Structure 1
Amino acid sequence: MSDDLDTGLRELARSAERLPPVPGAGIRHLAERRRRRRRRGAIAALGGTAAVAAVALALVLSPGGAGPERQQEAPAARPTSARSAQPAPDVRVDLSTRELVVVADGRGMPVSSGGANTPTPTGRLTVVSRTPAALVSGAEVGRPRDHRYKVLWVIRLRAGDGRTTALFGMTTDETAPGAFDVTSGWIGLRTADAKWLYDRLRTGSVITVQGHAPAAAVGGGPFA
């Protein structure tokens, strides 16, 4: 390398090491500008963070949002129909088969009901009163209507529309239950069955009655 070139490079290096002179006021001005830029950057960053937090809070509190409160909201309860709210019956009576069944233990009993001209009320009935014995017209039990007869273990029933009937022990004819229908609409039982049922049912007990008496009497009755 020539001496001239070497000398030139050293001069160039020394000149690059010397900083251009800057007055003190200029240095302060530059420092102030840097501080303002840093302050604006910090404020902008803070504003962005606050905006994100506000959006997240709005999503949580919004009725249509997907926040935890919304996700854990219990489903609306389904309305309960009046039918499903009714208690199960204590006794079921099927006039077509002439059978009464006690729901709790499945015990069945033969019955006699009203015929075609004096049908027994059907539907859901409630026990309204109980009496150990009662005098009834003969028409109630398939006997001459101008006579009165003593029946036992009478359980009176009423439907929601006001119709009435009764369960009772047919002291006038123990063979009628399960065989023929001769009452004026009451439901006759054998005396022992009527007593057993009387001891278990209370006011407010529910009996459902369905079907209808067979068109032709089975076995016939004394006044069928």
Structure 2
Amino acid sequence: MSDDLTDDLRVLAESAEQLPPSSGADVRRLAQRRRRRRHTIAALGGTAAVAAVALALVLSLGGSGTGRRDMPATRPTSTLMQQPPPDAEVDLSSRLLKAGGRSMPVSSGFVRTPTPTGRMTVVSRVDVAMVSGAVVGRPRDLRYNVPWVIRLRADDGKTTALFGFATDETVPGVYDMTSGWIGLRTADAKWLYDRLRTGSVVDIEGHAPADPWATPSA
């Protein structure tokens, strides 16, 4: 006996027990509706199963399971923003300027007039400039001509300058007595003046000893 005939007989029996007397056509229509409903439910169940398998596959491929590392969206900022090496470096604590494999003694500012630190850029150069006496540790109202002046400026607006300490060649590397500029021996200042150009970079770090005449740190 076929499944369809069995279903029809069962529907007929149920109709005879539960429903008022109906025609044979009504019974067949009722049986057909029930079969279509069962087929629809089965189809929906199959679709839901396929969707569940697809979702599990996506999660398995896209998740961060064992042995899988998520790649960063961008490179670290430090890698992208590396600064170029400076053309010259000044260490105020040891009273030394280094450039081109050469070390040169310097004199920087008093404790009351410290030399600014940080990364500086050469903004101008002049072979001779008249400055206040305070620049070379003399009375402020006096004026002196100093050679090989290299003016520096930081991004935050701080300024200083490198120059030849022509008024006393014994000061660089021994005393800190300027108003914030960095003095070198005249020959060293000339050598540096010929080497640096506008746009060159100078890094200044450390701080002058509290005692202007103190022996510089190692």
TM-score by length of structure 1 reads 0.62
**1:156-199 C-alpha deviation (Å, 9 max, x unpaired):** 12234433211111222222111112211100011222222222
Give the number of the structure whose alpha-carbon radius of gyration is greater: 1
Alpha-carbon distance between aligned partners in 1 of 2:47 and 2:69, rounded to the nearest angstrom: 27
Quote how far apart the aligned CAs of 1:98 are.
0.8
Matching residue of 1:67: 61
Q: Which amino acid aligns with 2:110?
A: G
| Structure 2 unaligned regions, length at least 5 | 6-40
Q: How is 1:7-26 mapped onto 2 (pairs within 5 angstroms)? A: none
Report whether the alignment pairs 1:87 with 2:83.
yes
| 1:130 to 1:88, Cα distance in 2 relative to 1, 3 A | same
Identity %: 52
Report whether the alignment pairs 1:170 with 2:165.
yes
Matching residue of 1:122: 117
Q: How is 1:1-224 mapped onto 2 (pairs within 5 angstroms)? A: 30=2, 53-61=50-58, 65-67=59-61, 74-77=71-74, 80=77, 85=81, 87-90=83-86, 91-102=88-99, 105-198=100-193, 199-203=195-199, 205-217=201-213
Aligned partners of 1:89 and 1:208 also within 8 Å = no
Q: CA RMSD in A?
A: 3.9
**1:120-157 C-alpha deviation (Å, 9 max, x unpaired):** 12233332222232121222112343332222221112
Aligned partners of 2:110 and 2:212 also within 8 Å = no
Aligned partners of 1:98 and 1:213 also within 8 Å = no
Aligned partners of 2:132 and 2:143 also within 8 Å = yes
Name which of structure 1's ranges 167-176 and 45-54 shifts more when overlaid on structure 2: 45-54
Aligned partners of 1:119 and 1:213 also within 8 Å = no
TM-score by length of structure 2 reads 0.63
Alpha-carbon distance between aligned partners in 2 of 1:206 and 1:110, rounded to the nearest angstrom: 15
Q: Which amino acid aligns with 1:183?
A: T
SS in 2 for 1:67: helix
| 1:135 to 1:49, Cα distance in 2 relative to 1, 3 A | same
Alpha-carbon distance between aligned partners in 2 of 1:218 and 1:67, rounded to the nearest angstrom: 68
Alpha-carbon distance between aligned partners in 2 of 1:119 and 1:30, rounded to the nearest angstrom: 106
| 1:86 to 1:157, Cα distance in 2 relative to 1, 3 A | farther
Q: Which amino acid aligns with 1:210?
A: G
Quote how far apart the aligned CAs of 1:211 are.
1.7
Aligned partners of 2:163 and 2:184 also within 8 Å = yes
SS in 1 for 2:97: strand
